[in-house]
Amino acid sequence: MKIEELKTKEELLTVYPLLTNLYPNLTHLEYEKQLEVMLPHNYSMLAVYEEKEIVGLSGVWIGHKLWCGKYMELDNVVVAEGFRSRGVGAMLFDYAKNLAVKKACVSIGLDAFTYNHAAHKFFFKEDFVVKGYHFVHEIEENLG
């Protein structure tokens, strides 16, 4: 298996089929439009390949916040069903940890859906700790 950092829209579009495991209602067109907004803001993805098949991925943001300084955020972490518990996630996270050091980040963060208990177990195994909650308030279209 090998890992590549994907930085262009064309490269990122290739992961769409695996990404639909997380977001089954995300259309290809919506994904493409979102990438156009995200790419100018330090967004990339790490993709794990088995031969030519994408079997794992994670979005990567590099940012800076007052409470933690320069950090890496992982999002949209997914491993193809047939490749879970085969070291893909650990390989992906090892690569991300090394990349964070290389980019002079002081921490790595991520969000996980509250119902995704298998992911929580994996993140704990990778030495992540719960530091807080990510609260969301959805804005209704018809307000204002």
Question: Looking at the domain assignment, is residue 31 inside a domain?
Answer: yes
Q: What is the CATH number of the domain that holds 79?
A: 3.40.630.30
CA 49 to chain CA centroid, nearest Å: 16
Question: Looking at the domain assignment, is residue 79 inside a domain?
Answer: yes
Q: How far is CA 130 from CA 35, 66, 108, 121, 143, in A?
A: 28, 18, 12, 12, 34
Question: Looking at the domain assignment, is residue 135 inside a domain?
Answer: no
Closest by Cα among 43, 69, 47 to 58: 47
Domain that holds residue 89: 2-125
The predicted pLDDT at position 31 comes to 98
Question: Looking at the domain assignment, is residue 136 inside a domain?
Answer: no
Whole-angstrom Cα Rg for the chain: 16
Q: How does pLDDT run along the chain (144 residues), one tens digit per residue?
A: 999 999 999 999 999 999 999 999 999 999 999 999 999 998 999 999 999 999 999 999 999 999 999 999 999 999 999 999 999 999 999 999 999 999 999 999 999 989 999 999 999 999 999 998 889 999 987 665
Answer whether 91's CB lies under 8 Å from 57's CB. no
The predicted pLDDT at position 111 comes to 92
Question: Looking at the domain assignment, is residue 130 inside a domain?
Answer: no
Domain count, the chain: 1
